Amino acid sequence: MPKALNCLLSSWLLVLGGLFVSCGGSDVGSASVLRLGNGTEPETLDPHLMTGHPEFKVAWALFEGLTTLDPATLDVRPGVAESWEVSEDGLLYRFRLRPDARWSNGDPVTARDFVFAWKRMLTPGLAAPYADFLFPIDSAQAYNNGEIQDFGEVGVRAVEDLILEVRLIRPTPHFLFVQAMPFYFPVHEKSLLEFGAIDQRDTRWTRPGNLVSNGAFQLAERAPDRFLRVEKNPHYPGRDAVRLKGVEFYPIDSAQTEERAFRTGKLHQTNSLAPNKIDVYRRENPDLLRIHPLYGTYFYRFNTTRPPLDDARVRRALAMAIDRRDIVEHVTRGGQEPTGSFVPPGVGYTPADPIPRDIEEARGLLAEAGFPNGEGFPRLSLLYNTSESHRSVAEAVQFMWKTHLGVEIELMNQDWKVYLNTVAQLDYEIARGSWIGDYVDPQNFLEILASDSPHNRCGYSNAEYDSLIAQATRFRGREERYALLRRAEEILLADAPVAPIYTYASIFLQAPEVKGWGDNLMDYPSYRQAWIEESSQ
């Protein structure tokens, strides 16, 4: 191992303990290696099992789908597919793959790789959490539900090595966009099956030396809970335009520790910034502070299967007692916008009228539900994943509910992986939630709370809501779709299985030597466009 990297790792162990040592200057490792805070340890490196942004950020370095996205505009760009054709009715897609597309072991990337990958995503035994994103494909849902066993009946086929044909059951305006998401990524069949069956989880396939990928970078080294390093893929067709030699991801869930690592030159870019540091950087180092809107909503989930949260009056009372503006102005303080609606504004969609802050009405609803002034209300728990910022918001809401409604709430925190499992199992009462758009469209937010959605982690069900979401999928025209979705959002906010709090802003620190990094609504990374200006090192 190079001496510089040895020094980096030694320093990193001390970083985790809150201490730093000098390594003979701020130059740590290669000047062409981008060092990023990742927020938390990735739950998995298997693109078909990923659910969160900490995993997506690594996947976008390792893999490439049929399309990619422009990191400045989020416009769809060619990826593995160099071109495509779409039928007039929007139901048939024909992709032509790049003849020079290669896996990191040198094997060609073919249409059969996508057929295998999508078969794997839809295989019932894998229980891929985002399998439903493939349901616009003809018979995909039936295969995933076990209603048919022959994958040949599903609407995807390799016409030739470099021709992939996909048949949909309904027009899907975002279909090209989501090809850039991990759940549509190809996987290398031979290497994956070497370590287990097509539907086997958590095999050695994703370990360094085993993982064969097709993105701009390949997995070089991983030390769980310490760092993950990717290096430039020598077989990537666009390798000559990629200026970074590698990227290192550091799972630091403490914003304070991450900021210290940045100040001492251990990171080029943080994942976030503690709210109490934002004004300091605005005042003293504005050139290091990056803030831009993010297409996402921060909210609290209510487990609608547990009393008294099975009563919409209770849920709405709790939601109405939250002072969202106070939270963004005095707690988060980073450009977030308070919201009582679930869908973020923008993209031509006008969100439904928000859940208002109305203490008197909230008290009245709680009294109607049998808890006047909070009397007799059980002591519930509010769960969040470990983070100073999540804790600060939770403490503020805890105080508001106690002060205005007489409701006592206990705060609980869990690390990322445990928290994800707890919420997925509905083993909570109230839990922090967030949704960052997988594509820039209101449907992506509203469909996750449909009764049959695997992302509906509230136990929420409303037949009229489900019907409106289903109807919206049948329209190609934006105006008709948006009208149905807005009506669905009105129902959602009346039922209040979630309490929206604010729309996100991406807030992070970035060293001045990082160049070519584009900000966008989805925090889609710029690994292929970015570089380190060595003269600044």
User: Phi-psi region for residue 215, left (φ > 0), alpha (ψ -120 to 50) or beta?
Assistant: beta
Strands of 151-271, DSSP E: 156-160, 163-167, 217-223, 227-232, 246-250
Identify which of 353, 309, 366 has the alpha carbon closest to the alpha carbon of residue 494. Answer: 353
Global pTM value: 0.82
Strands of 268-325, DSSP E: 289-302
Other CB atoms within a 10 A radius of the CB of residue 183 amount to: 25
User: Helices 3-16 and 255-263 sit at what angle, rounded to 10 degrees?
Assistant: 140
- Amino acid making up residue 445: F
End-to-end CA distance of the chain: 22
What is the pLDDT at residue 439? Answer: 87
Which CATH number covers residue 523? 3.40.190.10
Are 84 and 173 part of one and the same domain? yes
Return d(Cα 497, Cα 490) in angstroms, integer: 12
Determine contact, residues 249/114, Cβ cutoff 8 Å: no
Contacts of 62 (CB under 8 A, 6+ apart): 45, 47, 211, 213, 215, 217, 218, 219, 230
What is the pLDDT at residue 335? Answer: 86
Are 20 and 122 part of one and the same domain? no
10-residue mean pLDDT series, the chain (537 residues) = 34 35 36 92 96 94 97 95 96 98 98 98 97 96 97 98 97 93 98 98 96 98 96 96 97 93 97 92 96 95 98 98 97 93 87 96 98 97 93 97 98 94 97 92 94 94 96 82 95 98 96 95 94 72
What is the pLDDT at residue 367? Answer: 98
Are 429 and 532 part of one and the same domain? no
Are 188 and 124 part of one and the same domain? yes
Return d(Cα 109, Cα 216) in angstroms, integer: 14
Identify which of 59, 519, 505, 74 has the alpha carbon closest to the alpha carbon of residue 296. Answer: 505
**DSSP 8-state assignment for residue 319:** H
For residue 388, the enclosing domain spans: 293-506
Give the tokens for residue 304.
Answer: 């609608």
Return d(Cα 390, Cα 413) in angstroms, integer: 9
Are 3 and 107 part of one and the same domain? no
* Three-state DSSP class for residue 388: helix
The phi and psi torsions of 86 (rounded to 5 degrees) equal -125, 135
Q: Is the peptide bond before 293 cis (omega within 30 degrees of 0)?
A: no
Are 496 and 518 part of one and the same domain? no
Give the tokens for residue 437.
Answer: 């758009």
Sign of the CA dihedral with 438 first, then 441, 445, and 449 last: negative
Are 406 and 469 part of one and the same domain? yes
Return d(Cα 103, Cα 63) in angstroms, integer: 9
Are 158 and 86 part of one and the same domain? yes
Are 124 and 35 part of one and the same domain? no
Return d(Cα 452, Cα 456) in angstroms, integer: 8
Indicate whether 280 belongs to any domain.
no
**DSSP 8-state assignment for residue 535:** G
Other CB atoms within a 10 A radius of the CB of residue 185 amount to: 29
Are 397 and 252 part of one and the same domain? no
Which CATH number covers residue 135? 3.90.76.10
Are 58 and 68 part of one and the same domain? no
For the chain, how many structural domains are there in total?
A: 3
Give the tokens for residue 258.
Answer: 């991450």
